Amino acid sequence: MEQTRTIIGAEYPKKVIPLIDGAKRSILMCMFEWRWYKNDFAHPVSLFNSALLRAHRRGVKVRILTNYAEVIAFVTELGFNAKKWPDKSLLHSKLLIIDGEKCVTGSHNITQSAFTSNIEISTILDDTYDIKRFTDYFETLWKR
């Protein structure tokens, strides 16, 4: 059995940023809520966003799917390949797939509340079967 790791509450940036920093090829991301605190570089959300930007700048292909046009406009300006969810139904998924080898999923959004005060839980999966299923799920959503 491959390793599964639980992320509780404020642990999210501490556990996920190293995974992003270790990405070599690709990051696929579905995110319901996602914030950018442009004036607070030390904020945990800013540290997460900076890790994504570093990955992109070192050549990792980052694809992002989210609900909000303003987020899409901002991350597209930074050079990310991003799409707004096209349906009237909300994209409520929270998913991060790194190099097709690690998957982070659960209740965490990329927000101050999720990283500091909400009651959140997510998990890091290493299981190749699950990661394949999550990747197929992402690709199906991406094609819509």
The residues annotated as belonging to the active site are: 92, 94, 99
DSSP letter at 53?
H
Amino acid in the structure at residue 125: L
Q: What is the largest CA-CA distance in the chain?
A: 43
| Range 34-42, long-range pairs (CB < 8 A, 24+ positions) | 34/66, 34/68, 34/71, 34/109, 34/110, 34/111, 35/110, 35/111, 35/112, 36/71, 36/74, 37/112
